[in-house]
A and B are shown apart, each in its own frame.
Chain A
Amino acid sequence: MRRLLLILVILALVSAGAFFALTMPDRVAPEELADLTGDADAGGAVFWAGGCASCHAGEDAEGEDRLILSGGQRLASEFGTFVAPNISPDPEHGIGDWTLAEFVTAMQNGISPEGRHYYPAFPYTAYRMATRQDMADLFAFLSTLPASVTPSEPHQVSFPVTITRGIGLWNLLHLRDDYVVDGDLTEHEARGRYLSEALAHCAECHTPRDATGGLDRTRWMAGAPNPTGRGTIPALTPDELTWSVEEIAAYLNDGFAPDFDTAGGQMAEVVENLSNLTSEDRLAIAAYLKALPPVGE
C-alpha cells in the first residue's frame, strides 16, 4: 500500500516536472537581436500588413484614431471572450518600457515580459514566421504612435482556461516553424505567402479549428464557422474563391467584390489595413491564394 502511494507520488512529481519543463516560457535573448536597427517607416508597412489596428485600436476608431492602440476590442471564441490590450507607447498601460527582445518574445513566442503565456487569440503563431528585421521595424514604428492611458481590460475566461501555463502545452502542438503552403512557389507567390501566413494571419478566421482550438492545417483556408456564432467565414481556396487575381487584389484595396457588393464585418477593417500596402503586395496575396491547395468537399 505504502509502495503504491510512493509510486503515485513519484508519478505525480514526474508529470508535474514534465509539465513545468514543457511549458517553460521561451525567451529571445537581447544578444540575438544586437545587430538589428529598426526603421519606423518600413515598420508602417509591417503594421498594416499585420493587421495590428484591427484588434488593438479602440472600438469603432476611424481614420487617424486607428493609430491609437488603446485596446479594448473583444474577440469571441468558444474558450471565452478575449479583450485586446493597450499596446500604445504608454510606459504604464502600454508597451512603452519594453525592450526589443521583450517585444520579439511576445510577438514570436507568445510570452509576456513577466514570463506569462499569451492566449493564442493574439496570433503569435503567425507572427513567429516573420523576419526579425520586420519585427524590429514594427517595434520602431509602434514607438512613434500616440500613447494612450486607457488600462487594458481582463479577458473574460473561466477555469481551466485561466491557467495560462497550459498554453505551453498548446504551443507544443500549434507553435510551428514552417509554412503551411510549401512546394515550388514563385518569388511573387512566396511574398504573398509571407504576407498572408506570417503577417496578415488570414487563416485565423478563414481556416477551421480542431478540438484544441488550433488551426487545422489540412483544411487550410477552407472556410470556417464565424466565432460570433452567425454564419460562416468563406473559403479562400481557388476551387471556392473563383475571382481573378486582379479582382482579389482590387477587393483588398477598395472592398468592392466583382459584383460590387461590399466587404462587411471584420473584413471591412482588413481591407482598410491592406489598402495601405503597395498594389504589388496585394497582387502577391492574391497570387498566393491562387496557389493554395484546393480543399473542395
Chain B
Amino acid sequence: MKFRSILAASAVIVATGFGTATIAQDLPMPVQARQGQFKMMGLNIGVLVAMARGEADYDADRAQAAADNLVTLSSIDQSFHWPEGSDNMTLVGTRALPEIWDNLPDMLDKWGAFGAAADGLAAAAGEGLDPMRAALGPVGNSCSACHDDYRASD
C-alpha cells in the first residue's frame, strides 16, 4: 500500500517535471501565439507541397481548403504578436531578430505580401495541379523574403 502511494507520488513528480520541461519554456503569450500561427501556416502549406511534389494525389477540395486557411491566417491582425522585448537577444526560444523592431512597418508589409500571395494561391488552388503549383512558389518566396531579413538562421 505504502509502496504504491510512493510509486504514484513519484509518477506525479516525474510527470510534472517532464511537463514543465516540454512546454515552450514559459515564453510570453504573444510569442507562443505567433509561433502557433506559423505552425498553422506550415501545416497548410505542407498539404499543398505534398501534392506539388507528387507525394500526395492532387485533390481540388483539400487544396482549396488549405489555400483558404492560408488566406484566413494572413488576415490575422499582427498588432498583438510582436511586443517590444520579444526578440532573440532578449528571449531564448525565439528566432525573431531585433531588426524587426527597427523596421516594423517593413516587416508588416512583408506579412501583407504573404497575404497577397495567399490570395493568388486561393484563386488557383482548386483549378488543377499545375496552376496550384505555380501559385505556391510566390507563397514560399513571401515566407523567405521575411525570413531573410527578420529571422535568425538557427
Task: Identify the A interface with B (CB < 8 A).
Answer: 226, 230-234, 250, 254-256, 259-265, 268
B95 (CB) vs chain A CBs: closest residue: A231
Taking the complex as formed, is B103 at the interface, i.e. its CB lies under 8 A from any CB of chain A? no
A-B contact pairs, 6 of them (CB 8 A): A226-B153, A231-B154, A232-B153, A254-B53, A256-B45, A262-B144
Q: CA A250 – CA B143 in complex, angstroms?
A: 18
| A230 lies within 8 A of B144 (CB) | no
Task: Identify the B interface with A (CB < 8 A).
Answer: 42-43, 45-46, 49, 52-53, 97, 140-141, 143-144, 147-148, 151-154
Q: Which of B53, B152, B154 has the most CB of A within 10 A?
A: B154
| Chain B proximity of A265: nearest CB distance (Å) | 5
Contact of A230 among B52, B53, B97, B140 (CB under 8 A): B97
B46 (CB) vs chain A CBs: closest residue: A260
Contacts of A230 in B (CB 8 A): 97, 152-153
Q: CA A231 – CA B45 in complex, angstroms?
A: 26
Prevailing SS type, chain A contact patch: loop
Contact of B140 among A226, A232, A234, A262 (CB under 8 A): A262
- 9 additional A-B pairs beyond A231-B154, A232-B153, A260-B42, beta carbons within 8 Å, are A256-B45, A256-B49, A259-B42, A260-B43, A262-B143, A262-B144, A262-B147, A265-B153, A268-B148
| Chain A proximity of B117: nearest CB distance (Å) | 12
Task: Indicate whether A265 sits within 8 Å of B147 (C-beta atoms), given known contacts A231-B152, A234-B154, A256-B140.
Answer: yes
| B153 lies within 8 A of A254 (CB) | no
Contacts of A256 in B (CB 8 A): 45-46, 49, 140
Task: Indicate whether A263 sits within 8 Å of B45 (C-beta atoms), given known contacts A231-B154, A234-B153.
Answer: no
Contacts of A234 in B (CB 8 A): 153-154
A258 (CB) vs chain B CBs: closest residue: B46
| B148 lies within 8 A of A265 (CB) | yes
